[in-house]
Amino acid sequence: NIFVLGSFVAACSAKVLTAPRAGESVAAEAFLLEAGGKGFNLAAACRRLESAVDGLFAIGDDALSALAEPALIHAGLPAGMLRRRRGPTGAGVGFISASGETWVAVHAGANMTLGAADARDSGSAIAAADMTIAQFETSDAVIAEAFALARASGRRTLLTPSPFRPIPPAILSATSILCVNRVEAAALAAQLGLPDADDVGALGAALFPHGPEALVVTLGAEGALAALPDGALLIQPAFAVTAVDTLGAGDAFAAGLAVALCEGHGWTQALRRAAACGALVASRFGVFDALPARDAVDAMTQD
Ligand code: ADP
């Protein structure tokens, strides 16, 4: 089973012809308020792939917090994952234009109130999970503590550092698998003092002394690359699909990778299953409804 650390975000999205310019207001063609956040998406994606999921999400005490419990139940996630805090629930505002461009702003709200004590309270669940996974819509303190607890129990951890901020040494040293997209790879290369991020092998070699045992770089429609500690560089082409909305592709890829590795698949097959998850999400509108079921991934990755 997989333990997922925050975040829960109430996500508003408006479909518009073009995003409004400063001072302008435009009519939206459709509006949607739904449960989201990278943590929720990762947890829901793991669950859709039939992994058992536990974890930790914080919500506030405002009207938006009421979205959380029904959304978790609908996703098949345990409502016991929720921690209630004073203040605002994490919230996001997004525009999707007719040509598929997106503009998104996320307020982390309650997600940042998770701290080391919350991780310790979940210590036995973290120690029992095959893998603990986290993203950067929650605090460094809770990630560092949870990852340290997982590693102390001989478990693996996976981090998608998105939205990117420099990865603190306490987190990096307890990260087993680092999964980044092209933009985050460039920021990581800058953090490590490397001139460019295009050489994934060199990026992995610079990264591994700091803790991680594997680096995965996703390249959208160009697929993904993985650098492993034995020096191997694996190349995973993308599956050919008609992309309609790539929002959530990275989350689905990371969840697919985590579930496949926990099921005992080797790296080659795990990357293939992860790429299938990313492609399937990209080929459908939305995130939650687009998350692939296990059967669809099996069918796509059969030889
Ligand atoms: P993020 O959403 O984090 O920016 P990417 O865009 O790199 O992440 O997508 C993650 C993975 O999803 C890619 O490595 C690829 O396997 C898959 N994917 C994304 N976009 C497409 C696409 N247009 N066609 C096929 N697969 C895609």
Q: What is the ipTM of this complex?
A: 0.98
> Which residues have C-beta within 8 Å of that of residue 45, sequence separation ≥ 6?
251, 252, 255, 256, 277, 291
Task: Supply the mean pLDDT for the chain.
Answer: 95
Q: From ligand 1's centre to the CA of 144, what distance in Å?
A: 27
Would you state the pLDDT for residue 229? 86
Looking up tokens 């999964």 gives 179
Q: From ligand 1's centre to the CA of 184, what distance in Å?
A: 14
Residue nearest to atom 10 of ligand 1 (CA): 250
Q: How far apart are CA 156 and CA 183, in angstroms?
A: 25
Would you state the pLDDT for residue 93? 94
Q: Is the distance from the beta carbon of residue 41 to the nearest atom of ligand 1 less than 6 Å?
A: no
pLDDT above 80 (res 150): yes
Whether pTM > 0.90 for this model: the answer is: yes
Q: Is the distance from the beta carbon of residue 223 to the nearest atom of ligand 1 less than 6 Å?
A: yes
Q: Which of the listed residues 41, 136, 218, 300 should we mutate to test ligand 1's pocket, taking the one with most ligand atoms within 8 A of CB?
A: 218
Q: Which of the listed residues 246, 247, 281 should we mutate to test ligand 1's pocket, taking the one with most ligand atoms within 8 A of CB?
A: 246
Would you state the pLDDT for residue 243? 87
Report which ligand 1 atom has the smallest distance to the Cα of 160: 3
pLDDT above 90 (res 287): no
**Least confident span in 37-51, 154-168, 200-214, 275-289:** 275-289
Question: Residue 172's closest CA among 208, 198, 130?
Answer: 208
Instruction: Measure CA 218 to chain center.
Output: 12
Q: From ligand 1's centre to the CA of 128, what distance in Å?
A: 31
Question: Residue 115's closest CA among 37, 2, 5?
Answer: 5
Q: What is the pLDDT of residues 193-231, one digit of tens each?
A: 998 888 999 999 999 999 999 999 999 999 999 999 888
Residue nearest to atom 16 of ligand 1 (CA): 275
Q: From ligand 1's centre to the CA of 74, what distance in Å?
A: 26
Question: Residue 3's closest CA among 38, 46, 58, 37?
Answer: 46
Mean pLDDT in residue range 249-270: 97
Q: Dmax over Cα atoms in the chain, in whole Å?
A: 55
Q: From ligand 1's centre to the CA of 292, what distance in Å?
A: 14
Q: Is the distance from the beta carbon of residue 163 to the nearest atom of ligand 1 less than 6 Å?
A: no
Would you state the pLDDT for residue 149? 98
Is 156:178 a contact under the CB 8 Å cutoff?
no
Report which ligand 1 atom has the smallest distance to the Cα of 183: 4
Q: Is the distance from the beta carbon of residue 300 to the nearest atom of ligand 1 less than 6 Å?
A: no
Q: How far apart are CA 298 and CA 301, in angstroms?
A: 5
Q: Categorize the per-residue pLDDT at 254 as very low, low, confident or very high, splitting at 50, 70 and 90.
A: very high
What are the structural domains, with CATH classification, of the chain?
Answer: 2-301 (3.40.1190.20)
Q: Locate 101 and state its tokens.
A: 């461009």
**Least confident span in 147-151, 210-214, 244-248, 292-296:** 244-248
Would you state the pLDDT for residue 277? 98
Q: Is the distance from the beta carbon of residue 185 to the nearest atom of ligand 1 less than 6 Å?
A: no
Residue nearest to atom 24 of ligand 1 (CA): 221
pLDDT above 80 (res 303): no
Q: From ligand 1's centre to the CA of 100, what distance in Å?
A: 15
Q: What is the pLDDT of residues 221-232, one digit of tens each?
A: 999 999 998 889
pLDDT above 80 (res 100): no
Q: How far apart are CA 93 and CA 116, in angstroms?
A: 29
